[in-house]
A = this chain, B = another copy of it.
Amino acid sequence: MAEQAPQGRRERKKAATRAALASAALRLCSEHGVDQVTVEQIADAADVAPRTFFNYFTSKEEAVVAGNAVTAEILVDAFTGRPADEPVTESLRHALHAVVTDPGYLDRFMRLRALRTHPAVVAHHMAAYGAQERELAAAVVARTGTDPASDMFPTLAAAATVTALRVAVQHWLGDHGTDPREPELTQLVDEAMAVFEAGLPAATGVPV
A-side residues, CB < 8 A to B, are: 58-59, 61-62, 87-89, 119-120, 122-124, 126-127, 129-130, 144, 146, 148-153, 155-157, 159-160, 163-164, 166-168, 170-171, 174, 176-181, 188, 191-192, 195-208
Contacts and interface: CB of A to CB of B under 8 A. Distances in A.
Contact of A89 (B152, B155, B200): B200
Contacts of A206: 153
A129 B127 contact: no
Contact of A177 (B62, B149, B200, B203): B149
B205 A202 contact: no
A187 to B, nearest CB: 11
Contacts of A59: 120
A205 B153 contact: yes
Contacts of A208: 151-153, 156
A191 B152 contact: yes
B152 A168 contact: yes
Chain B CB within 10 Å, residue with most, of A119, A156, A179: A156
